[in-house]
Amino acid sequence: MSGLLDRHRWAWPEAMFWCGWIAVFFLFPDRLSLSTQILIWSMFALSLDLVMGFCGILSLGQAFFFGVGAYATAWTALLGWHEPISAALVGAAVAALAALPLGLLVLGLSGLRQIMATLAIGALGLEAANRAAGVTGGDDGLQGFGFAPLLGHFRWSIFGQTSFFYALTGFALVFLLLRHLLAAPFGITLQGIRDNATRMRMLGVRVGRYRLLAWTIGAAIAGLAGALGAQTTRFVGLDSMSLDASIAVLVMLVVGGTGRLYGGPIGAAVYMIVHDQAANWNPYHWMAAIGVLLILVVRLGRGGLLGLMEQAWARF
Amino acid sequence: MLRIDSLSGGWGATTIIDGCSLHLAQGEICALLGRNGVGKTTLLELITGRARHRAGGIRMNGKNLVGTALHVRARAGLAHVPQQREVFPSLTVAENLDVAARPGSWTRRRLLDLFPSLAARLHARAAHLSGGEQQMLAIARALASNPCLLLMDEPSEGLAPVVVEQLVAAIRAMATDGLTILLVEQNFHVAIALSDRCLVMERGRIVHDGPSTALRRSPSDLADLLFQSNIIT
């Protein structure tokens, strides 16, 4: 279990995690749509983990970048560019561009003021998207766009195989990138900033630049997740940048464990499976099951489910 | 090397340092003594830039530090070992050293030679170190930035005598490298034994400035300096 928490070395529990995703394809062929959504939200949770878990920036507006990436990718197709990978990268780039000026606004703040500023970004962004119905489709959302076969060969079938492997590959690449980044001097510095930003400044580090870079990379990853969501569902609605989405990804991260890379993906999987099962049981009150899960995890120990697994492993 | 002229400042609206002046020569170890609450830590924090500056000058190697950002002072060659150590708890010992590292003679290998107990715990998280090891790490981290002036705030506080001995040996080794050190220390024996010069503070000002050798020979003079309330040099 300690291998899941080690920044520098790979360990066997990680192989289990990745093999598990391959196994999902064969064991649950009729649940590929849900699995694809879990992968996309796992990527989204990684973006928040970078910003909040590793850099200490408190954000309640991360879904804004998810939505921006989704709308930008949808519009890429609507404007006639149908190559899916480059269209997804356009979504990530637009989200990163949107993050830069907002980062200058948010990152000078701390604590509650920072949370409120990110909340305001999310709320204003959602309202702007609602008003700009000509661009976003308003309440009806954007639809009627599609993408060319992946790599010119794999068609987007209704069974979801292409979407699943597309999302899995995207998630794995983002994960590898973040893992590499966080074990490199850049990532170590971010974690030092999270521990004690003032002490970092007193060691000569330009904390603001590091935070802005982490914030922008986090937004790009959130935008990429949104882009993949748009491509695999062929729909973008206002809910993609809603406060509910920001809160959901935060809950996923807290349930899985912040600042641990695997915490977000594990939290996303648990959240969405509980959501799926609870919604079957009661489509109106599924949030109660999530609430109970969240309370249990935060009451039982620090570090979310990964922290609990770590404690159990230490006793074993 | 360091020149402070009529410096005043403190925390929030409270002025603690009031018209303080001192200078340090290159390679000098200077002990700053005084009773609790006279402003020793605040003086160090005014030099680092964390405390609020009100008036007066701070120059290091001729460069004016007043009004400059914390990271600018650090890059100018200023390093600080705080009283609470403030190591980065989630980083390993090696990572704590690496985030501070700048080019110079204090390489990681040399630091680990100076603090062998850290070498044995290089991949342990700083949160899991003992108090003594954390203190060694805080000093090593400051040295990793290859400073020209090191401010140390009560480095021996709360440490076992055997660890204090290791610390004294390490500071002596640092001094042979030509590093200028301003040392705030409650353990007067350690301070007097290590320093070339001794400053005594009272109510935010320096009230005694003299060679440590004299106080080493006559500890009673030191007691008089520290516990008389109206000290004028």
Residues of chain B contacting A198 with CB distance shorter than 8 Å: 50, 70
Averaged pLDDT for residues A193-214: 96
Name the residue among B74, B86, B95 with its Cβ closest to that of A196. B86
Residue A75 predicted with pLDDT over 90: yes
Residue A6 predicted with pLDDT over 80: no
Amino acid letter, residue A168: L
Q: Can you tell me the distance from the alpha carbon of A42 to that of A167, in angstroms, rounded to the nearest whole number?
A: 10
3-state secondary structure of A258: coil
pLDDT of amino acid A12:
78
User: Total domain count for chain A?
Assistant: 1
pLDDT of amino acid A297:
87
Asked whether residue A275 is assigned to any structural domain, the reply reads no
Residues of chain B contacting A6 with CB distance shorter than 8 Å: none
At a CB cut-off of 8 Å and minimum separation 6, what does A268 contact?
A: A38, A41, A42, A44, A45, A249, A252, A256
Residues of chain A contacting B98 with CB distance shorter than 8 Å: 185, 188
pLDDT of amino acid A230:
95
Residues of chain A contacting B102 with CB distance shorter than 8 Å: 204
Q: Can you tell me the distance from the alpha carbon of A106 to that of A62, in angstroms, rounded to the nearest whole number?
A: 12
Interface mutation target, options A194, A203, A210, A261, chain B, most CBs of B under 10 Å:
A203
**CB A203 to CB B69 under 8 A?**
no
Torsion of CA A83, A88, A91, A96, to 10 degrees: -130
pLDDT of amino acid A315:
80
The percent helix, strand, coil of chain B (3-state, each to 5) is 40, 30, 35
Percent of chain B surpassing pLDDT 90: 69
pLDDT band at B227 (very low <50, low <70, confident <90, very high): low
pLDDT of amino acid A3:
45
Interface mutation target, options B45, B95, B143, B151, chain A, most CBs of A under 10 Å:
B95
Residue B30 predicted with pLDDT over 50: yes
Determine how β-strand B180-184 pairs with β-strand B78-81: unpaired
**CB A194 to CB B145 under 8 A?**
no
Do the beta carbons of residue A265 and residue A253 sit within 8 Å?
no
**What was the ipTM of the complex prediction?**
0.90
Asked whether residue A278 is assigned to any structural domain, the reply reads no
**What is the 3-class SS of A129-157, one letter each residue?**
HHHCHHHHCHHHCEECCCCCCECCCECCC
Q: Can you tell me the distance from the alpha carbon of B167 to that of B182, in angstroms, rounded to the nearest whole number?
A: 15
Give B31→chain A minimum CA distance, Å: 22
Averaged pLDDT for residues A123-146: 92
For residue B121, give the DSSP letter: T
Asked whether residue A83 is assigned to any structural domain, the reply reads yes
Do the beta carbons of residue B52 and residue B13 sit within 8 Å?
no
Q: Which domain holds residue A199?
A: 2-238
Asked whether residue A199 is assigned to any structural domain, the reply reads yes
Q: Global pTM?
A: 0.90
Residues of chain B contacting A302 with CB distance shorter than 8 Å: none
Asked whether residue A306 is assigned to any structural domain, the reply reads no
Average pLDDT in chain A: 92
Asked whether residue A307 is assigned to any structural domain, the reply reads no
Interface mutation target, options A2, A182, A196, A199, chain B, most CBs of B under 10 Å:
A199
Asked whether residue A314 is assigned to any structural domain, the reply reads no
Q: Can you tell me the distance from the alpha carbon of A238 to that of A67, in angstroms, rounded to the nearest whole number?
A: 8
Q: Which pair of tokens denotes residue B59?
A: 């120059």
**Closest Cα partner for B174 from B50, B68, B29?**
B29
Residue B177 predicted with pLDDT over 90: no
* Token pair 């200058």 in the structure block, residue: A104
pLDDT band at A158 (very low <50, low <70, confident <90, very high): confident
Asked whether residue A54 is assigned to any structural domain, the reply reads yes
Q: Can you tell me the distance from the alpha carbon of A34 to that of A270, in angstroms, rounded to the nearest whole number?
A: 12
